[in-house]
């Protein structure tokens, strides 16, 4: 059983794992289901890890490299290792060692760092757990003396994450969460469909498909007035320059974006937003960013961008007794 934790990567990966197993909820994943999901992940890692740059399917390796630097499928010397990549992936997605035996042999056991399930003794660092410290940086995860203890279902969820994420226009990973489970499942399903298409068609670049932001905008538009708060994470686990940008899209901002998708010229809106260096989604989500964009963008783009800001402000004065 895969429990949904508070960690956005684990949650998104858990939904993706459920989708890979053809189930409606991560909580329905049993041992067999986890085995099947792990086998599928390992298979895709094996295939991507053997490609030369630019060969059909290369896009998947790019995604893996942006999430798990130095891990078996993307390590620069991956081809030299005599053991197949898929087998090495299966090794670290395998069952948890029996906690009693671990303790007998002098090892330590903790509750899983993500879902709190007891009996976790396998610890992961940056190469497998995106945006964590390296397992060698003992000071930063001192309580576990290097790496974070993770149960098997959470380890599998973290490696199902690529399937439930998408790639932004600037090449970052995009993972979207929502505390409303039905919306979180739906948005992960939308990204999952593109990942599956990329794998099936052997995309060499993520530019062959829509950018994550445009996919999300279309997703929001399809929901119409029924919106929840979306937490949009843009991130990269790059070795030298790891990044995490978080943007919260309120239900009101999402409803506005849905309406604009229906009524406005979205290509022109995107073009206007681009003059300010952003996507319409970001400008609708962040009032400060929006004000800054209006102040700095070329004159032609100002009236176009204004529609992203919602109702004009003076409406409050209209309701005062003097003006009624």
For the CB of residue 10, give the shortest distance to Zn ion in the complex, in Å.
Answer: 7
Q: From 115-123, 128-136, 191-199, 202-210, give the range in contact with Zn ion by CB under 5 A.
A: 115-123
For the CB of residue 113, give the shortest distance to Zn ion in the complex, in Å.
Answer: 7
For the CB of residue 117, give the shortest distance to Zn ion in the complex, in Å.
Answer: 5
- Subset of 154-173 contacting Zn ion (CB under 5 A): 154
Residue for token pair 């030369």: 52
Beta carbon nearer to Zn ion, 117 or 172: 117
Helix (H) or strand (E) holding 163: helix 152-164
Beta carbon nearer to Zn ion, 33 or 66: 33
Beta carbon nearer to Zn ion, 14 or 272: 14
Beta carbon nearer to Zn ion, 7 or 256: 7
Residue for token pair 């197949």: 84
Beta carbon nearer to Zn ion, 114 or 190: 114
Beta carbon nearer to Zn ion, 23 or 264: 23
What is the C-alpha to C-alpha distance for residues 240 and 237, in angstroms, rounded to an integer?
9
Tokens of 104: 């007998």
Cβ atoms of 99 and 118 closer than 8 Å = yes
- Per residue, what are the HEC states of 65-89? HHHCCCCCCCCCCHHHCCCCHHHHH
For the CB of residue 282, give the shortest distance to Zn ion in the complex, in Å.
Answer: 32
Residues 6+ apart with CB under 8 A from 242: 126, 131, 235, 236
Residues 6+ apart with CB under 8 A from 211: 166, 167, 168, 169, 279
SS3 call for 310: coil
Residues 6+ apart with CB under 8 A from 314: none
Beta carbon nearer to Zn ion, 89 or 114: 114
Q: From 108-116, 204-212, 234-242, 313-321, give the range in contact with Zn ion by CB under 5 A.
A: 108-116
What is the C-alpha to C-alpha distance for residues 38 and 100, in angstroms, rounded to an integer?
25
- Subset of 121-160 contacting Zn ion (CB under 5 A): 151, 154
Q: From 72-80, 84-92, 105-113, 300-308, give the range in contact with Zn ion by CB under 5 A.
A: 105-113
SS3 call for 176: strand
Q: From 69-77, 110-118, 141-149, 290-298, give the range in contact with Zn ion by CB under 5 A.
A: 110-118
Smallest CA-to-CA distance from 89 within 47, 58, 55 is with 47
- Subset of 233-272 contacting Zn ion (CB under 5 A): none
Q: How many residues bind Zn ion (CB under 5 A)?
A: 6
Tokens of 229: 């708060």
For the CB of residue 96, give the shortest distance to Zn ion in the complex, in Å.
Answer: 10
C-alpha distances (whole Å) from 23 to each of 152, 199, 200 are 18, 20, 20
For the CB of residue 151, give the shortest distance to Zn ion in the complex, in Å.
Answer: 4
- Any idea what DSSP says for residue 36? H
For the CB of residue 95, give the shortest distance to Zn ion in the complex, in Å.
Answer: 13
Per CB under 5 A, the list member of 90, 114, 176, 260 interacting with Zn ion is 114
Q: Does 115 bind Zn ion (CB under 5 A)?
A: yes
For the CB of residue 112, give the shortest distance to Zn ion in the complex, in Å.
Answer: 3
Binding site for Zn ion (CB under 5 A): 112, 114-115, 117, 151, 154
């Amino acid at each position: 059983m895969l429990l949904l934790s508070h960690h956005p990567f684990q949650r998104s990966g858990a939904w993706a794992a459920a989708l890979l197993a053809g189930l409606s909820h991560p909580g329905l994943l049993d041992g067999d289901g986890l085995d099947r999901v792990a086998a599928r992940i390992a298979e895709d890692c094996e295939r991507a890890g053997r490609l030369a740059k630019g060969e059909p399917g290369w896009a998947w390796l790019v995604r893996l490299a942006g999430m798990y630097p130095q891990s078996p499928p993307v390590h620069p010397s991956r081809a030299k290792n005599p053991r197949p990549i898929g087998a090495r992936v299966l090794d670290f997605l395998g069952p948890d060692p029996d906690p009693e035996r671990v303790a007998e042999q002098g090892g330590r056991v903790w509750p899983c760092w993500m879902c709190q399930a007891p009996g976790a003794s396998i610890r992961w660092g940056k190469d497998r757990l995106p945006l964590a410290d390296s397992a060698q940086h003992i000071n930063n995860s001192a309580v576990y003396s290097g790496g974070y203890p993770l149960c098997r279902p959470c380890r599998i969820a973290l490696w199902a994450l690529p399937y439930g994420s998408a790639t932004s226009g600037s090449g970052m990973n995009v993972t979207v969460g929502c505390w409303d489970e039905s919306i979180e499942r739906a948005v992960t399903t939308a990204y999952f469909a593109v990942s599956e298409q990329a794998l099936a068609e052997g995309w060499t670049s993520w530019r062959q498909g829509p950018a994550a932001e445009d996919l999300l905008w279309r997703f929001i538009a399809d929901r119409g007035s029924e919106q929840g708060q979306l937490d949009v994470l843009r991130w990269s686990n790059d070795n030298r320059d790891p990044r995490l940008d978080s943007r919260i899209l309120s239900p009101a901002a999402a409803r506005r974006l849905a309406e604009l998708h229906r009524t406005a010229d979205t290509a022109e809106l995107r073009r206007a937003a681009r003059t300010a260096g952003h996507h319409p989604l970001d400008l609708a989500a962040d009032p400060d960013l929006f004000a800054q964009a209006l102040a700095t963008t070329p004159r032609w783009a100002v009236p176009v961008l204004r529609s992203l800001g919602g109702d004009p402000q003076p409406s409050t004065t209209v309701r005062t007794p003097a003006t009624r």
